[in-house]
Amino acid sequence: MRLSELLDRAVVTADGRTLGKVRDVRLVQDGPILAGGTQAALRVDAVIVSRGWRGVRLGYLRGEVRGPWLLRSIFGRLERAAQAIPLRDLVWDDDEPRLRLRSDARAEKR
Amino acid sequence: MTGRILYAGLELLDHQLRDRDGRLCGNVDDLEVERSPDTGELYVTAIVAGPGALLQRMGRRRLGGWIERANRLVGDQGRDRNIIPLALATRIGPNIDLAVDAEDLATADTERWVRDHLIGHLPGNRHRAPE
């Protein structure tokens, strides 16, 4: 499958409440070394979900905006609106356009 | 979490691909992911470049799919040369460096066709532009 099939998918809680849409995908380079290559494999770790504007695509998702205060206050709000949801906490059904959070999962606030 | 963290949309998609000689050879238009039968985790297996993949990512799935199928038809043994195994990436930074020649990628097909079929037939085509 393609990574783009994840992007812009709606994410809902187990009881159907909308959390937002997938704005980005977090990868962790901790897999085995790729056969014939030099890089470790990139594991799909989490989706970054946000309800609002795509501030996350501009990079405001890592909690790293420290100043000046005006930018920090504006973009900090964007960062707080985004949450990372580990892939293991999502129920992923090909016939269902939305990703559903498992009932026992807790989103990781950015 | 111990490995390097990358945000796909921010740090990979639309980033520049460079071949082994540093020549620009396309962009990351999408990524292929596969579930590992051993761990059940999803891993990125390949970089997808080319207009077909980009169109599909932009929501033009039918047109993008046609372009990709056409690429496979004209490719070697049905292989889509727009799909570049991640093992060929030697460095993932602001640019993604590949251990291949740009000539071997489908992203250079148009440039190659124009060179061979149009520019190559013009009078004075042996002139080499200063580098």
| CATH superfamily of this structure's domain A3-102 | PRC-barrel domain (2.30.30.240)
Contacting residues of A for B43, CB less than 8 Å apart: 31, 41-44
A46 CB contacts (<8 Å, ≥6 apart)? A25, A26, A84, A85, A86, A87, A108
- Above 80 in pLDDT, residue A45? yes
Nearest CB neighbour to A28, from listed B3, B31, B89: B3
State residue B122's pLDDT score.
Answer: 84
A 14-53 → B contacts, CB under 8 A: 23-31, 34-45, 48
Measured between CB atoms, does A108 come within 8 Å of chain B?
no
CATH level 3 topology of B8-121 = SH3 type barrels. (2.30.30)
pLDDT score, position B123: 82
The residue type found at B60 is R
How wide is the angle at C-alpha B103 spanned by C-alphas B7 and B22, nearest 5°? Answer: 55
If DSSP states are collapsed to H, E and C, what string results for B44-94? EEEEECCHHHHHHHCCCHHHHHHHHHHHHHHCHHHCCCCEEEHHHEEEECC
Query: Strand, coil or helix: what is B4?
Result: strand
**Residue contact B4–A25, C-beta within 8 A:** no
pLDDT digits (tens, 9 = 90+) for B66-109: 988 887 777 666 667 788 999 999 999 999 999 988 888 877 77
Range with the lowest mean pLDDT among A37-46, A68-77, A79-88, B22-31? A68-77
Chain B residues in contact with A46 by the CB 8 A cut-off are: none
Instruction: Give the pair of three-digit tokens for residue A28.
Output: 């962790």
Q: Which residue did the predictor score with more confidence, B16 or A67? A: B16
SS3 of A34, please? coil
| Cβ neighbours, 10 Å, residue B131 | 3
Q: Which of helix, strand or coil describes residue A74?
A: helix
Q: How much is the pLDDT for B1?
A: 64
pLDDT digits (tens, 9 = 90+) for A99-109: 999 877 765 55
pLDDT band (50, 70, 90) for residue A3: very high
User: pTM for this structure?
Assistant: 0.82
Within 8 A by CB and 6+ apart from B20, the residues are B90, B97, B98, B99, B100, B101
Q: Which of A29, A61, A87 sits opposite B6 (nearest CB)?
A: A29
Which of residues A46 and A80 earns the better pLDDT score?
A: A46
Q: Judge: A7–B6 Cβ closer than 8 Å, yes or no.
A: no
The domain segmentation of chain B, as residue ranges, is: 8-121
Closest CA to A60 of A44, A69, A48: A48
Q: What is the pLDDT of residue B98?
A: 93
Of A30-44, A72-86, B27-41, which range is least confident?
A72-86
Q: Of residues B115 and B130, which shows the higher confidence score?
A: B115
- The set of residues, in sequence order, having a beta carbon less than 8 Å from that of A18 and lying 6+ positions away, is A10, A11, A12, A51
Q: How far is B103 from chain A (nearest CA, A)?
A: 20
Nearest CB to B89: which of A27, A39, A56? A39
Are the Cβ atoms of A61 and B57 closer than 8 angstroms? Answer: no
Question: Does the pLDDT of residue A64 top 90, yes or no?
Answer: no
So what's the pLDDT on residue B116?
82
Beta strands in A4-81 (DSSP E): 10-12, 18-29, 42-50
Do B8 and A28 lie within an 8 Å CB cutoff? Answer: no
How far lies B61's CA from each of A11, B113, B129, in Å? 21, 26, 40
% of chain B with per-residue pLDDT over 70: 90
DSSP tag of B99: S
Contact A61, A36 (CB under 8 A): no
Q: Tell me, what's the ipTM? A: 0.83
**pLDDT at residue A55 above 70?**
no
- Closest residue of chain B to A2, computed from CA coordinates: B32
* Identity of the residue in A2, A35, A37 whose CB atom sits nearest the CB atom of B30: A2
Q: Which of A103-107, B21-25, B54-58, B127-131 has the lowest mean pLDDT?
A: B127-131
Nearest CA in chain A to B54: A4
pLDDT at B47: 94
